[in-house]
Amino acid sequence: MNGRRASARFTSWRLAIFAVGLFGSILPHKLGWTLFGNATLAASVILFLIVAWYHNRLEDRLHRLRRWQGVKQIHLARMRLNWTDIPFRPVTVPERHAYATDLDLAGPHSLLHLIDNTISSQGQDRLASWLFDQPPQPAQWIERQALIRELMPLSLLRDRLSLEAQSVEDADIDGRRLLLVLRKRVDHSSFMPMLLTETVLALATAGLLLADLSYGLGNYWMLSFGLYAVLFLSVRSRSEEIFDHAQSLHRQLERLSAVLGYLERRSYRDSPRLAQLCRPLLQPHSRPSTSLKHAASLMNRLSVRAHPLVHYLINAIGPWDLYHTYRLQHLQDRIAAVAPQWFELLAELDAAASLATFAYLHPDYPWPTLHQPDAAGHTNGAGPILEAQGLAHPLIPAGVRVANHIALQGRGRMFLVTGSNMSGKSTFLRTIGINTCLAQAGGPVCATSFRWSLLRIGSCIRVDDSLDGGLSFFYAEVKRLKTILDRAQDMEGPPVLWLIDEVFKGTNNRERLIGGRALIAALAGGNGFGLVTTHDLELTELERQLPNVTNVHFQETVAEGALHFDYRLKPGPCPTTNALRIMALEGLPVESPPATLR
């Protein structure tokens, strides 16, 4: 508010100075006081320029503060899960991905929608790959989490990166497009001969014109100028291509220069991992700022093409376009040689900064503990593990979500989850999966503690039929389950975390039971562990037949004719069902459920 008032005062002062300068110079001239009038005009112009300079600085700062306020408001929206105020940037999910769709990793109201705070297309791709391409190598994960933890308290650095990227244009830094433009040369085989010829003709024209003016040599300069003009017009279409090329480079380089320039100027004394990552920016011989400033200068000079009169005038004096294109080629080659390294470090920093911001905005989320194999290759002698206390879903508001505990240890370990409709079985599977993805990406988790081994994730929760592929729902489900089973039978790879919701729900009761028993028995001897949910209470008998299978359940209560769910995981098979009760409550013509099912 104070800033706006100050800006309004500056506007009033500028109008007042303009009015005083106008009348203060006209009246003395009318009265014949020419010297006084000129002095008043000069003083008014100088004062106006000084006030305008301070006013522009104030406006720039106010604009920057408004952008900073916008960044903080988005942070608040992320904390409160206010989805409408969180910018959504689409991410392409690999076709038939093993778990991305099931676990809501991408799309509106997804994990990436919540945590994606990247400023570059490469950063967004890197962040998505950390979630989609799991598990990472242990050493890679350790380095990644160390960088994220180092960035977490550096909120000023992360916000400044966003501000610097927005200072030029509110768009992502598109490294792929910029590299393509940098590697596209605008020359052709006759470029150098044309530049040399035009240079010679321009010098000849200047010399002949000077000789004509000095010694009356005659209008011979018009001949050389005419040849020069013919050559210039013959390559006019090329100058348009050069202009388009310069424009496509200009904005991208400005955004990149703003971000990398800030990283160059920053001190890394207390950030050793960040310093190691940004080392290529700090080498005196390869600092981006120098090359990018030269590039921006060249772009500005080539952009004279936007002003036709000035463009023709300046090219009439000499081969402006061709000369600066020649310089642009050499600069392109120099930048293109080092730019991939810049974009690589920017992608890593950008993705890590997004997870660091997520950690900063949720200080109660702990960092997960990785359970690693010992020197003999055994996982501390205990097999793979996933053990979490107070595990909850990060995409459900804190005042609504319910936390549960989970402990899976050893290959083949399985929880068979039964429960009523809407009691929380599917959400619990997604809760385990999404937190495991967060942990393996290097971020914190929505729990009170989380200890796990690096896992391959396979899920069968949200299965759709495919009209294009000619797949029915059941066949699509079978193919997904076969993929999970194949991975679980691969004893050489990392253990598999399988999350299967309502196994074989696309077929009849008899075949579902037969197929469910066979699948659970096969998984119980596989390389991994996980959970399978079912409505078929007959499958709970497998606990007595397979030592690795444990029954757990979710259950509802009935009060005043309504169903209530506590979403708490309990031991044993579910003692109740609620399908008929839900039908009756909604007014469908069904008989009241038997007492044993209530």
Note whether 118 and 316 are within 8 A (CB).
no
Q: How far is CA 140 from CA 61, 147, 366, 463, in A?
A: 41, 11, 20, 32
Tokens describing residue 210? 């000077």
Note whether 549 and 542 are within 8 A (CB).
yes
Note whether 430 and 112 are within 8 A (CB).
no
- Check residue 83 and report its DSSP letter: G
Note whether 512 and 504 are within 8 A (CB).
yes
What residue spans of 235-319 are helical by DSSP H?
236-265, 272-277, 288-302, 308-317
Note whether 554 and 569 are within 8 A (CB).
yes
Which amino acid belongs to residue 419? G
Rounded Cα distance, 10 and 257, in Å: 32
Burial 161-184 (b: 16+ CB within 10 A, else e): bbbbbbbbeeebbbbeebbebbee
SS3 state at 437: helix
Q: What is the pLDDT of residue 409?
A: 92
Note whether 40 and 323 are within 8 A (CB).
no
Give the Cβ contact number of residue 296 at 10 Å.
Answer: 15
How far the first Cα of the chain sits from its last, in Å, is 62
- Check residue 93 and report its DSSP letter: P
Closest among 474, 475, 482 to 498, alpha carbons compared = 482
Residue 135: asked if its preceding bond is cis (omega within 30°), the reply is yes
**CATH number for the domain formed by residue range(s) 369-597:** 3.40.50.300
Q: How far is CA 427 from CA 104, 147, 401, in A?
A: 11, 31, 10
Note whether 165 and 258 are within 8 A (CB).
yes
Give the Cβ contact number of residue 199 at 10 Å.
Answer: 15
E strands within 396-524?
404-409, 414-419, 449-452, 456-460, 496-500
Note whether 512 and 474 are within 8 A (CB).
no
Note whether 466 and 497 are within 8 A (CB).
no
Q: What is the pLDDT of residue 253?
A: 75
Q: What is the pLDDT of residue 349?
A: 94
Q: What is the pLDDT of residue 7?
A: 67
Q: What is the pLDDT of residue 597?
A: 44
Q: Quick one: angle between helices 320-361 and 288-302, nearest 10?
A: 130
Domain boundaries along the sequence of the chain? 2-80, 175-361, 369-597
Note whether 157 and 267 are within 8 A (CB).
no
Establish how many alpha carbons lie within 13 A of residue 382's alpha carbon, considering only the half-sphere containing its beta carbon: 12
Which amino acid belongs to residue 154? L
Rounded Cα distance, 331 and 459, in Å: 50
Q: What is the pLDDT of residue 363?
A: 95
pTM over 0.85: no
10-residue stretch averages of pLDDT, the chain, 598 residues long: 67 75 71 73 79 76 79 93 93 89 94 94 94 94 95 92 74 71 62 78 83 78 81 67 63 78 85 90 76 75 73 80 76 79 91 96 96 54 86 94 94 91 89 97 96 95 61 80 92 93 83 90 92 90 92 80 81 75 64 52
SS3 state at 235: coil
Rounded Cα distance, 260 and 278, in Å: 9
DSSP secondary structure string for all residues of 160-218: HHHHHHHTT-SS-B-HHHHHHHHH-----TTHHHHHHHHHHHHHHHHHHHHHHHHH---
Give me the numbers of helices (H) and strands (E) for the chain, helices first please: 19, 12
Burial 450-466 (b: 16+ CB within 10 A, else e): bbbbbbbbbbbbebeee
Tokens describing residue 4? 């706006």
Rounded Cα distance, 354 and 593, in Å: 51
H or E element: which one contains 387?
A: strand 385-391
Rounded Cα distance, 482 and 504, in Å: 12
Q: What is the pLDDT of residue 378?
A: 46
Q: Quick one: angle between helices 320-361 and 138-151, nearest 10?
A: 90
Q: What is the pLDDT of residue 141?
A: 95
- Which residues face 386 on adjacent strands? 408, 452
50-55 CB contacts, 8 Å cutoff, 24+ apart: 51/10, 51/13, 51/14, 51/17, 52/14, 54/10, 55/7, 55/10, 55/11, 55/14
Rounded Cα distance, 119 and 532, in Å: 39
DSSP secondary structure string for all residues of 56-73: HHHHHHHHHHHHHHHHHH
